[in-house]
Amino acid sequence: MVNTYPLFVSRQTVFTSKETVLKSRALLISKSLAVIDNQTRDSVGQVMSILETDGLSHILVTDAEGDPVFEASVYSENKDITEWGVDQALGGFDAFYSVLSDGAFTSSAAIPIISGDTISGAVFISERDAEQGEIILSLQRNIIRLSVMMSVIIIALGVLFSGTITRRITLVLNAIKSVREGEYGYRVEVSGNDELTQLGEEFNSLTSRLQVTEETRRRFVSDASHELKTPLASIKLLSDSILQNETMDSATVREFVGDIGTEAERLARTTEKLLSLTRIDSAVNTTRRVPVDMGRVITGAVRILRQLASENSVTLHSDLQDGCTVLATDDDIYQIALNLIENAIKYNSWGGSVFIRLARVFDSVELTVEDTGIGIPEDDLPHIFDRFYRVDKARSREAGGSGLGLSIVKSTAREHGGDVRAERRSEGGMRFAVVFPYYDAEKSEGSEREARD
Q: How confident is the model at residue 399 (pLDDT cuts 50, 70, 90)?
A: very low
Q: With residue 327 as reference, give the H or E element that holds it.
A: strand 325-328
Region 237-247: mean pLDDT is 81
Q: How confident is the model at residue 264 (pLDDT cuts 50, 70, 90)?
A: confident
Supply the angle between the helices 405-415 and 330-346 in degrees, to the nearest 10: 150
Is 339 within 8 Å of 356 (Cβ atoms)?
no
DSSP strand pairing (353-361 vs 364-371): antiparallel
- Residues 6 or more apart whose Cβ sits within 8 Å of residue 256: 238, 241, 242, 248
Higher model confidence: residue 404 or residue 314?
314
Residue 78 DSSP one-character state: P
In the sheet with 118-129, reading across from the earlier edge strand, the strands are 68-73, 58-63, 118-129, 104-115, 95-101
- Rg of the chain (C-alpha set): 53
pLDDT tens across 173-185, in order? 888 888 888 787 8
CA dihedral (299, 302, 303, 304) positive or negative: positive
How many CB atoms are closer than 10 A to CB 23? 18
pLDDT over threshold 70, residue 398: no
Q: Read off the amino acid at residue 354.
A: V
pLDDT over threshold 90, residue 318: yes
Q: How confident is the model at residue 326 (pLDDT cuts 50, 70, 90)?
A: very high
Q: What is the DSSP string of 85-109?
A: HHHHHHTT--EEEEEEETTEEEEEE
pLDDT tens across 373-394, in order? 888 888 888 878 876 666 654 4
Predicted TM-score of the model (pTM): 0.47
pLDDT over threshold 70, residue 223: no
pLDDT at 1: 66
User: Strand pairing partners for 448?
Assistant: none
* Cα separation values, 413 from 6, 210, 326, 433, Å: 76, 25, 11, 11
Please, what are the domains in the chain?
A: 5-137 (3.30.450.20), 195-281 (1.10.287.130), 290-444 (3.30.565.10)
Cα–Cα distance, 404 to 440 (Å, whole number): 32
